[in-house]
Amino acid sequence: MLKPQRLNYGDRVGVIAPAGPPIEKDLRKGLVVLRSLGLDPVLGAHVLSQGHAFSYLAAPDEARLEDLHRMFLDPCIKAVFCARGGYGTARLAPYVDYSIIRCNPKVFWGYSDITYLHTAIHKCSSLVTFHGPMVASDLGKNSVNNETTVSLSQLFIPKNTIYRYPDFSFKSIQNGKAEGILVGGNLTVLADSLGTDFELNTDNRILFIEEINEPAYRIDAMLMHLKLAGKFERVKGVILGDFNLEASEFVETQLLLRQFFAPYNIPVLQGFPAGHCTPNYGIPIGGRVYLDTISLVVEFETGVT
């Protein structure tokens, strides 16, 4: 995999909305946070577009695609941050010029619906990208979590990051140790990609999954979809991020996860604080990760050089 260059204080970074439209006041707050980190954010031309056909998209497909291409092509832009998720990146994936990304590798950061682009970029450009808090959705909150913001520091210093119990409330669903390339993201988006040119490759990899406010039966259905598509046959391990569950769904979902993974002789860790949660830690997708569910330790290889 190809790693992007680390960021330096003063770097100009692009902010795009490849999926849904951000709330402008939240976006502006998030830009302030990026500036507090020493970065100089530049908005894509179509991030705040109005008056187009579909309210659930930030801009027409060609406009959102243009912002993505321009940010990777501009040599003055050192990273590309997504404003929010929602829906829309699957509409872009077939039309992205992946040679632009491969020839201009830089930090690409986002999560949720951005999962579709993470998977597509890995397959077609071999670039390590980052599943992490977004500018409007997370950094734009009224009281942005300090740990969420601090997780962006990994972009400035190329060193491995270690998370361990009891600093984090990890639980082991299946004991074991594994090392491999990290893939994954939002469970709904991963399931939606099956059968397409951009479906997830889990062979000899460690799978990360997060979700937001889905009932147990929907999580069951999507996990079964992945299972029947063969995505757990050769996977080396699983990291479960936050599922942002309603209290009424918590107990049943816990039982589901334990029963679902029980037949697999692989380490499965639950409780990694990444996804639609606070704090929301950024992690490098496409980089190597070491997983030990006996000692409850996760170590991510640096995603930048």
Residues 197 and 119: their CA atoms lie apart, in Å, by: 10
What DSSP state is assigned to residue 152?
G
164: left (phi over 0), alpha (psi -120 to 50) or beta: beta
Residues 270 and 272: their CA atoms lie apart, in Å, by: 6
Q: Are 122 and 286 in contact (CB under 8 A)?
A: yes
Query: 10 Å Cβ neighbour count for 168?
Result: 15
Q: Are 159 and 289 in contact (CB under 8 A)?
A: no
| Residue 202, token pair as written in the block | 């889990």
Residues 226 and 231: their CA atoms lie apart, in Å, by: 5
Active site residues: 112, 210, 276
Question: What count of residues does the chain have?
Answer: 305
Place of tokens 């872009």: 92
Residues 173 and 182: their CA atoms lie apart, in Å, by: 18
Q: Where are the alpha helices (DSSP H) in the chain?
A: 24-36, 61-73, 89-92, 98-103, 115-125, 146-150, 187-192, 216-228, 247-261
